[in-house]
Amino acid sequence: MRNLDENTITQAVLARLEHATDERLKDIVTSLVRHLHAFAREVNLTEAEWEQGIQFLTGVGHFTDDKRQEFILLSDTLGLSTLVTAMANRKPLGCTEATVFGPFFVEGAPEYQNGDDVANGARGEPCFVSGFIRGLGGEPVAGARIEVWQADADGFYDVQHAGDDAHRARGVLHSLANGRYHFRSIVAEPYPIPHDGPVGRMLDALGRHPWRPAHLHFMITAPGYERLVTHVFRDGDKYLDSDAVFGVRSSLVAQWIPHEEGVAPDGTRMNTPFSTLEFDFILNRSS
């Protein structure tokens, strides 16, 4: 087809998709083309703006490596991650809500026993975390795999520390026979998402801050139940209502209870202040 113009180009592109054998892929690309073309028409996109957009996406790609996922940051800060998560995790009332996965999960975190210190030297005030894993019917979920990770007191995840390959404030443990879990870590603190790259420059240009409220990441899996990827947020954090990645749910906000030095929940003597967090997770049965 020749001599295409702004009025005929969209249909010409869609016609090229007619012979696609993957119907789902065809549906997705068809919708993508329609919306992209409609967007360009709506904003009257100029060639200079189109080129700037291409350069931005190229920069996002250049910033992405095995420790830095700039594309996930872009998706998160545009709310796309939360939208997809919400659509994919519709659960019955009473189940723990899911939220965004984030860019700092890593495979191969060390295994710990209940009661162990997963901080492994990460900077921060000691915190003792505990709770129960249950099903929606109240049944204890024994042996659930619990993967937990968080930033340190400086606002960095272990993978962000150059030259240090140790896993810190990150680990895997399993719920006990009664569904209980408990471990030691550090108090969650607010931190900015990485903003030294293209996504950070985008936020700055839009007058947005890069901060996330303090939270712990959890991913919980158990046979017969749907996987749960979620956070537990620290009550009172000033960024709860302006999370840079739109991940906060009221049901996921909990209190970190401060304690003066003394006997910790695990019976050890603490010579410094510490905090405790209790949070139960309710899983949805898989169909």
pLDDT tens per residue, range 1-45: 788 999 999 999 999 999 999 999 999 999 999 999 999 999 999
Do the Cβ atoms of 269 and 262 come closer than 8 Å?
yes
Residue 22 shares a structural domain with residue 125: no
* 128 & 110 share domain: yes
The model's pTM is 0.91
Judgement on whether residues 94 and 40 belong to the same structural domain of the protein: no
If asked whether residues 219 and 243 sit together in one domain, one would say yes
Cβ-contact 56, 242 below 8 angstroms: no
Q: Which residue's entry shows tokens 């080129």?
A: 51
Whether residues 54 and 194 fall in one domain: no
Do the beta carbons of residue 248 and residue 98 sit within 8 Å?
Answer: no
pLDDT tens digits along 227-252: 999 999 999 999 999 999 999 999 99
* Residues 37, 79 within the same domain: no
Residue 201 sits in the same domain as residue 172: yes
Q: Which domain holds residue 226?
A: 74-283
Residue 1 lies in a domain: no
Within a domain: residue 102? yes
Both 208 and 150 in a single domain?
yes
- Do 133 and 33 share a domain, yes or no? no
Residue 66 has pLDDT above 90, yes or no: no
Q: Is residue 225 part of a domain?
A: yes
The pLDDT assigned to 122 comes to 93
Amino acid 279: pLDDT: 98
Within this chain, do residues 128 and 63 fall inside the same structural domain, yes or no?
no
Residues 110 and 208 in one domain: yes
125 and 155 share a domain? yes
CATH label of the domain that carries residue 139: 2.60.130.10
Q: Tens of pLDDT along 211-225? A: 999 999 999 999 999
Question: In the prediction, which pLDDT does 287 show?
Answer: 81
Q: How many folded domains does the chain comprise? A: 2
**pLDDT band with cut points at 50, 70 and 90 for residue 271:** very high
